Amino acid sequence: MILSIESSCDDSSIAITRISDAKLLFHKKISQEINHSKYGGVVPELAARLHAIALPNILEECKKYFQDLKAVAVTNEPGLSVTLVEGVCMAKALSISLDIPLLPINHLKGHIYSLFIDNPKTVFPMGVLLVSGGHTQLLHVESYEKIEVLATTLDDSFGESFDKVAKMLRLGYPGGPVVEECAKNGDEKRFDFTVPLLRTPKLAFSYSGLKNQVRLAIEENPEAKNDICASFQNIATKHLLHKLKKVLQVKKFDNFAIVGGASANKYLRSEIEDLCKKQNMTLHVADLQFCSDNAAMIGRCAIEAYNLGKFANLDEIEINPRTNF
Ligand code: KG4
Ligand code: ZN
């Protein structure tokens, strides 16, 4: 079995995954959303302090698996450095005390493997749209080691733009679910926001301009919360679809997936579903509970790392807040 730890942002999570068949034997996550909500975003030092309390509490529940562990896996990149270090220190301590090897895991790869939790098979090659709080990337994933970035964001990420719109509307944090909820009761045609990067052939994403358009709309129409959310969600999604279609003109996939916290968005899911039908691609999505950050996806990813022998010595494991693929 592999014990995996996730602490890259504001979720403290530990999982136990069986190596032979990828069965998820234990998974617990303590989310800090309410602790950060009043600040309109994650406060790194507060998050780190809360991890230091939550992770040891969850670990207590895993003791019965200790004798069966073959490795300890931990997210070491990308994320907030002060929170990553909490998980990495715990992983190092377990590695020493249980005499088992360490597996550093890239959080973004973890999101890709959220598609295969409890499932020993993977479906590669595949096009993957990763939409989270820190990233908006279109990827060509051929294997654990071969991942090509086809498009990425020039500024804010898709999820982050929902968080910022929610903050401007004083809706709390995280913004994604609450903006999606408000949008259900709004008129998406009321505000004519422009789709970002519409006239450039550049294969990239950008959300900072749209965020500014939303800011101006809020200033002029402070009462129009639901219509603003609906119009924003519509254009934010159109932007993703527009660039995705451009990529699909030159790159063909039989399999396509959306992963990351914002892949829980039902509006986005249904738009991507339609596109996949039209383009004859099979759509893969993670179970809703595994879209946002969790240790089960890190554990599933770690099985691949284990089989490939991607172990790190105690002094080799580095915390990289900004790494990409
Ligand atoms: O993957 P994740 O849990 O953390 C990162 O790796 O960043 O993603 C969190 C992000 C937040 O920005 C949150 O607002 C967004 O995912 N999110 C959503 C929805 N649920 C979560 N964005 C849009 N619609 C949602 N329903
Ligand atoms: Zn994430």
Tell me if 87 CB under 6 Å of ligand 1: no
Q: Rounded to whole angstroms, how far apart are CA atoms 172 and 303?
A: 36
- Same structural domain, 196 and 100: no
Domain-embedded: residue 108: yes
Preceding amide of 56 cis, omega within 30: no
Ligand 1 atom with the smallest distance to the CA of 293 is 3
Q: Which residue positions in the chain have pLDDT lower than 70? A: none
Question: Whole domain around residue 16: which residue ranges?
Answer: 2-117+293-307
Q: What are phi and psi of 59, to 5 degrees?
A: -60, -35
Q: Which ligand 1 atom sits nearest the alpha carbon of residue 265?
A: 26
Q: Is the CB of 110 under 6 A from ligand 1?
A: no
Residue 211 within a domain: yes
Helical pair 225-250 and 158-168, crossing angle rounded to 10 deg: 170
- The reply to whether ligand 1 has any atom less than 6 angstroms from the CB of 264 is yes
Q: How many domains does the chain have?
A: 2
Residue 314 counted as domain residue: no
What are the structure tokens assigned to 34, written together? 């309410």
User: Radius of gyration of the chain from Cα atoms?
Assistant: 20
| Distance in angstroms (rounded) separating the CA atoms of residues 274 and 113 | 23
Please give the angle made by the CA atoms of 138, 10 and 315, to the nearest 5 degrees: 85
In a domain, 324, yes or no: no
pLDDT value of residue 325: 82
Ligand 1 neighbourhood includes 261 CB (under 6 angstroms): yes
Both 178 and 268 in one domain: the answer is yes
Whole-angstrom Cα distance, residue 241 to residue 78?
A: 26
Calculate how far, in angstroms, residue 114's C-alpha sits from the geometric centre of ligand 1: 14
User: Does ligand 1 come within 6 angstroms of the Cβ of 196?
Assistant: no
CA atoms lying within 13 Å on the CB side of residue 210: 34
Residue whose Cα lies nearest atom 14 of ligand 1: it is: 176
Asked if residue 100 belongs to a domain, the reply is yes
From the CB of 163, is ligand 1 less than 6 Å away? yes
d(CA 234, CA 243): 15
> Is the domain of 112 the same as that of 180?
no
Q: What is the pLDDT of residue 40?
A: 85
Q: How far apart are the first and last CA of the chain?
A: 26
| Beta sheet of 147-153, edge-to-edge order | 204-205, 147-153, 136-141, 126-131, 255-259, 282-285
133 shares its domain with 278: yes
Q: How far is the CA of 135 from the centre of ligand 1 (A)?
A: 10
The answer to whether 54 and 5 have CB atoms below 8 angstroms apart is no
CA of residue 95 to ligand 1 center, whole Å: 31
Nearest Cα residue to 138 out of 287, 249, 299: 249
In a domain, 20, yes or no: yes
Q: What is the CATH number of the domain that holds 90?
A: 3.30.420.40
319 inside domain: no
Q: What angle, 0 to 180 degrees and rounded to 10, lies between the N-to-C axes of helices 225-250 and 175-184?
A: 110
State the pairing for strand pair 255-259/126-131.
parallel
Q: Which atom of ligand 1 sits closest to the CA of residue 8?
A: 6
d(CA 118, CA 48): 29
Residue that is written with structure tokens 């089989």 in the block: 307
What is the distance between the alpha carbons of residues 238 and 288, in angstroms, rounded to a whole number? 22
Task: Tell which atom from ligand 1 comes closest to the C-alpha of 157.
Answer: 12
Domain identity same for 149 and 88: no
Q: What is the DSSP string of 29-83?
A: EEE-HHHHHTTTS--HHHHHHHHHHHHHHHHHTTGGGGGG-SEEEEEEESS-HHH
pTM of this prediction?
Answer: 0.97
Number of Cβ within a 10 Å radius of residue 37: 15
pLDDT at 224: 98
Q: How far, in Å, are 4, 179, 257 from residue 71 at the CA level?
A: 9, 40, 29
> Which residues sit opposite 149 in a β-bridge?
139
Residue 317 in any domain: the answer is: no
Task: Supply 87's token pair.
Answer: 């998980």
Distance CA 150, CA 324 (A): 13
Who's near 100: CB < 8 A, 6+ residues apart? 69, 70, 71, 72, 94
**Atom from ligand 1 closest to the CA of residue 111:** 1
